[in-house]
Structure 1
Amino acid sequence: MAQENVWDYPRPPALEKTSKRLKVVVDGKEIANTTEGYRVLETSHPPTYYIPPRDVAKGVLEKAAGRSSFCEWKGSATYWNVKGGVKQKVWSYEQPTGKFGPIAGYLSFYAHPPFRCFVGEEEAQQQPGDFYGGWKTSDIIGEMKGAPGTMHW
């Protein structure tokens, strides 16, 4: 298996189409499944995956009120709740800037419990900390941003 070091990823980040199967399960129920996703690759971060809305179960998500964030590369993020459950652990860029236009409306999930996120058959681990949303798999190596003391790398 080829390995990727997070320190080899570029800054500003790259957007890359992926044909790997991306799957998200919550409370034993599959809520997203695609082979038409994208991944964002940024220095010191494991990949962040974006899933087309057509490949997310209908009626599972609702827009979250009261939270916003801004990415210097992608623009303003919209946050989502899983109805009756997980709050603000899903996000999208409705009008992403520049080269990130292809992920407009695509959804990204934190690989934090209760979500179980898969790349192919492998369950991804969460990126250190609770701010960034990268999915760590066994082929991703290198010291990663997110743990205490790394926010300003």
Structure 2
Amino acid sequence: MALQEGDPAPDFTLPRDGGGEVSLSALRGRKIVLYAYPKDNTPGCTEEAIAFNRLRQAFAACGTEIIGVSPDSVQRHGNFKRKYELDFALLADEEQKLASAYGIWVEKSMYGRTYMGIERSTFLIDAEGRLARIWRKVKVAGHADEVLAAAQEL
């Protein structure tokens, strides 16, 4: 059954760029933007990361932390983060545990072949750990601004 707005956000603990781990339960009491993207250093994913990074101070001003997650390794995330001077955590979901729990590890197709991958999605999690807003099949243009507006209303 797909996650719905109002449901408790599934907990996770994943390694992050630069070392250490991030768990949702440890962030209780803060609003979280959890955005999932397919792959570091691809055009759409880079554009999305830059857009969230550009708005990070506005997110911080409304008490919201940004976290990006993809199946890429911690090392790839570190390189991606340095290259684009990203100032938020990137989590490595190499075994797709978070993606599966959130229902975003899906069959995709490109050029006639099918494969499993991340469905670009964003989850706005409230301070009590509930899914306040869910965006699936995200189109990158204007998305970070839309998420910021929702976070400011929460």
Fold similarity call, TM over 0.5: no
Pick the structure with more strand per residue. 1
Pick the structure with more helix per residue. 2
